[in-house]
Amino acid sequence: MTRTPISKELYDVISPSSYRYILNQPDICEKKRPYLILIIPVTLKDTEARTAIRNTWGHESLMSRVNILKLFVIGQPAQSNPILQQHLEKESHEYGDIVQMDFVDTYQNLTIKTMMIMNWIATYCQSARYGMKIDADSFLNVPHLVNYLHAQEESSGEDYITGSVIRDGHPKRDRHNKWFLSVDLYPETSFPPYVSGAAYVFSTDLAQKISFASRFVRPIPLEDVYVGLCLRVLGVNPVYSTRFLRLRNLFEVRKLKYQRCTFAKRITVNGFKPQQLLYIWHDFQKSHFTC
């Protein structure tokens, strides 16, 4: 496949040099030397979700053997909200876990956010072994993830990305579909393999490579497909994380009703409100002894 850089005009939309940091944590990885950095895209108003994550799977002292860091990545609301912004700045000061940039934070712009995440890791956190992009409404089984990554370490050197891989994706051409993609924006009739955006893990060397590849891939508003298109440029195949001949998807994207011992065998499950997350987490602590 020939690689032609996209126009400057198009690249500017996703280029990190188009945006400035409002809040940043440039030294956090140097200081804490994490094995894994969790990056959670949220918006300004998601205070409750941030609190729930800090009190559940994002809690810093969850694992004694490995350092895990988490960061929330936020843009700017379309309508400025000085009061919430002030709260956010306080929160950032108190917890030191917020990065904010000045792109407009909308659903359509999630691809920009993901590319800012890749650039942030490439710039400030190459020392971490793995990065994970995970949505705020996820449940994350941290010990299971860490064990899984430790077990993969031999085979997953560079260019490693794993999650729930979608191999037969294709663009939705119906204008009313949430994931509508016009022929102008994406003329191909199928997508290359990509990992579902709900949660995926990658070796941090990929962050810079994906950032680089984005010079050749026209922005589309589906951030996970976009990463898949960048992976195709790089010739990197995403790895499906499953057990038992694919029967058990470790990065669960379907809604699963909470059951302690079912969840103990997954790495992530998607689709929870902050209150549900707190409730599940409390019960889940017993899984260590009972499952």
Ligand X SMILES: *[C@@H]1O[C@H](CO)[C@@H](O)[C@H](O)[C@H]1NC(C)=O
Residues near ligand X, by CB under 6 A: 103-104, 106, 108-109, 112
Nearer to ligand X by Cβ, of 67 and 106: the residue is 106
Q: Which amino acid is at 11?
A: Y
Phi, psi (deg, nearest 5) at residue 153 = -55, -40
Nearer to ligand X by Cβ, of 78 and 183: the residue is 78
Radius of gyration, CA atoms only, the chain: 18
Nearer to ligand X by Cβ, of 51 and 85: the residue is 85
CA distance 27 to 126: 12
Nearer to ligand X by Cβ, of 112 and 267: the residue is 112
Nearer to ligand X by Cβ, of 104 and 261: the residue is 104
CB of 167 to ligand X, least distance (A): 29
Contacts of 7 (CB under 8 A, 6+ apart): none
CB of 109 to ligand X, least distance (A): 4
102 half-sphere exposure, CB direction, 13 A CA radius = 6
Nearer to ligand X by Cβ, of 56 and 119: the residue is 119
